[in-house]
C-alpha cells in the first residue's frame, strides 16, 4: 500500500504525529494549570494588559515591565495551532523573566480560520515594529529585543528572524536580537494533510510564504532551539530538520534538550527564574540577571506559593555556546 504522506501509511498516523493534545493522558490538567498560574502572575506582577499594537480587537499585548529602565525585552508568542488560545493563558511566562530583570511581552493575535497564518505572521511583525518604537515606555530597551514562541508560536518566532526589518519597516536589520523556538513547526506542508486543514486552509502560496524551513537564509540572529523528548514524533523531526538547515547555511544556533518533557511541560520552566531553562535563555540573550525585589512586584501576600508544577521527569541541560 502506498504511503499517505512521507512515511505515514494513513491519515490517522499523520494526525497522531501532530496531535499534541492527545499525546498526553490529561490535556485539561495542563490547560487548567496554565490558566491558574497566569491568573496568579497577573495578581503578583505589575502588568499592563490589553495594550494595542494594531487596529483589530485581537491585536494586543500584555506587558510585564521589568521595573528598571533599559531592560532587555522578551516577546513570547503562544501556540495552539494558530486557531485556539490567547495571551491570557500565558502570563505565567513573566514569572520567571520579570524577577530576572526582563520586560516581558505576551503576544495576542487573531486566529484561524477567521484569518490566515500569513495574516498572523504579519500581525507579529507589526507587534515587533510597534515594540521597537514603544517598549521604552515599559522599561524595555528596543535595541535588546528577543522573540520566543511555543509550537505554532515557534513558527512565528522563526519568521521574525527572517523578516526584512529595514526594507519593510525601516528598522535596524537586527531589530530582533535572538529567537527561542520551542517545539516549533517550521514546514507547514504536512499540516495540509491533517485534521487541522479545515481550520488552517493551507494552500501552496500560504505554505511557501510562511514556512521558515523554506525561507532560510543567512541572518545575524542566534537561535536557541528546544523540544521535549516525549513529544509527538513530528515535533522533534521538524525541529531537527530546521536546526540542521539553519546551521548548514552558516547561522548560529544551540540546542536545549528537555529529557522527559512533553509538548506542554517543555515550557513550564518559564515560571522558574533560576531554572536551567531560564538560565540558558538568559545566556542566549547575553543577560546577567539581578534577582532583587522588583518595583514591578505587587504585595508579597499575592506572590504565588509555587511555580507551575506538572508531571515531568527532568530537564536536560542546554548545549553551551553558539556553534
Question: What is the chain's mean pLDDT, rounded?
Answer: 92
Q: Percent of the chain beyond pLDDT 70?
A: 90
**Residue 315 pLDDT > 50, yes or no?**
no
User: According to the model, what pLDDT value does residue 290 have?
Assistant: 80
Question: How far is Cα 181 from Cα 122, in angstroms, rounded to an integer?
Answer: 18
Task: Give residue-wise pLDDT tens across range 152-178.
Answer: 999 999 999 999 999 999 999 999 999
How many other CB atoms are there within 10 angstroms of residue 251's CB atom? 20
User: Which candidate, 288, 154, 283, places its Cα nearest to that of 225?
Assistant: 154
Taking residue 194's Cβ as centre, other Cβ atoms within 10 Å add up to 22
Q: Is 155 exposed, middle or buried (0-12, 13-18, 19+ CB in 10 A)?
A: buried
Question: Residue 293 above 60 pLDDT?
Answer: no
Check pLDDT > 90 for residue 50.
Answer: yes
Sign of CA dihedral 120, 124, 129, 134: positive
Domains detected in the chain:
60-285 (3.40.50.1820)
pTM: 0.92
Distance CA 81, CA 84 (A): 7
- The helix/strand count (H/E) of the chain reads as 11, 8
Q: Are 231 and 183 in contact (CB under 8 A)?
A: yes
Residue with the three cell numbers 505587587: 298
Between 313 and 221, whose confidence is greater? 221
- Interior/surface letters 117-141, b for 16+ CB within 10 angstroms, e for the rest: bebbbbbbbbbbbbbbeebbebbbb
CA distance 135 to 118: 25
Q: Is it the case that residue 275 has pLDDT exceeding 80? A: yes
Query: Has residue 314 got a pLDDT over 90?
Result: no
pLDDT value for 291:
75
Please give the grid coordinates belonging to residue 231.
Answer: 513529544
Distance CA 310, CA 34 (A): 10
Mean pLDDT of the 188-213 span: 98
Quick: pLDDT tens for 89-121.
999 999 999 999 999 999 999 999 999 999 999
The distance of Cα 254 from the centroid of its chain, to the nearest Å, equals 16
Is pLDDT above 60 for 322?
A: no
Band of residue 318 on the pLDDT scale cut at 50, 70, 90: very low
Residue 182: its pLDDT value, please?
98
Cα–chain center distance at 240: 17
Q: Which of 163-167, 239-243, 284-288, 312-316 has the lowest mean pLDDT?
A: 312-316
Amino acid at each position: 500500500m502506498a504511503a499517505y504522506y512521507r512515511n505515514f501509511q494513513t491519515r490517522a498516523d499523520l494526525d497522531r504525529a501532530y496531535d499534541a493534545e492527545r499525546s498526553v493522558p490529561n490535556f485539561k490538567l495542563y490547560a487548567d494549570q496554565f490558566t491558574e498560574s497566569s491568573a496568579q502572575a497577573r495578581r503578583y506582577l505589575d502588568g499592563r494588559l490589553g495594550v494595542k499594537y494594531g487596529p483589530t480587537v485581537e491585536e494586543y499585548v500584555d506587558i510585564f515591565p521589568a521595573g528598571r529602565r533599559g531592560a532587555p525585552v522578551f516577546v513570547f508568542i503562544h501556540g495552539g495551532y494558530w486557531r485556539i488560545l490567547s495571551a491570557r493563558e500565558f502570563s505565567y511566562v513573566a514569572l520567571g523573566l520579570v524577577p530576572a530583570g526582563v520586560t516581558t511581552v505576551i503576544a495576542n493575535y487573531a486566529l484561524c480560520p477567521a484569518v490566515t497564518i500569513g495574516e498572523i505572521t504579519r500581525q507579529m511583525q507589526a507587534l515587533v515594529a510597534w515594540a521597537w518604537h514603544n517598549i521604552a515606555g515599559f522599561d524595555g530597551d528596543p535595541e535588546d529585543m528577543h522573540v520566543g514562541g511555543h509550537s505554532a508560536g515557534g513558527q512565528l518566532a522563526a519568521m521574525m528572524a527572517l523578516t526584512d526589518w529595514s526594507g519593510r519597516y525601516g528598522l535596524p536589520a537586527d531589530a530582533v536580537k535572538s529567537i527561542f523556538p520551542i517545539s516549533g513547526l517550521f514546514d507547514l506542508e504536512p499540516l495540509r494533510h491533517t485534521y487541522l486543514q479545515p481550520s488552517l486552509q493551507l494552500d501552496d502560496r500560504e505554505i511557501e510564504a510562511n514556512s521558515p524551513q523554506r525561507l532560510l537564509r543567512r541572518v545575524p540572529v542566534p537561535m536557541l532551539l528546544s523540544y521535549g523528548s516525549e513529544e509527538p514524533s513530528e515535533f522533534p523531526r521538524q525541529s531537527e530538520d530546521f536546526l540542521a538547515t539553519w546551521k548548514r547555511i552558516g547561522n548560529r544556533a544551540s540546542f536545549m534538550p528537555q529529557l522527559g518533557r512533553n509538548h506542554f511541560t517543555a515550557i513550564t520552566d518559564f515560571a522558574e527564574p533560576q531554572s536551567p531553562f531560564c538560565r540558558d535563555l538568559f545566556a542566549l540573550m547575553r543577560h546577567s540577571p539581578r534577582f532583587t525585589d522588583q518595583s514591578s512586584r505587587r504585595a508579597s501576600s499575592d506572590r504565588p506559593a509555587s511555580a507551575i508544577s506538572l508531571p515531568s521527569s527532568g530537564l536536560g541541560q542546554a548545549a553551551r555556546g553558539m556553534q
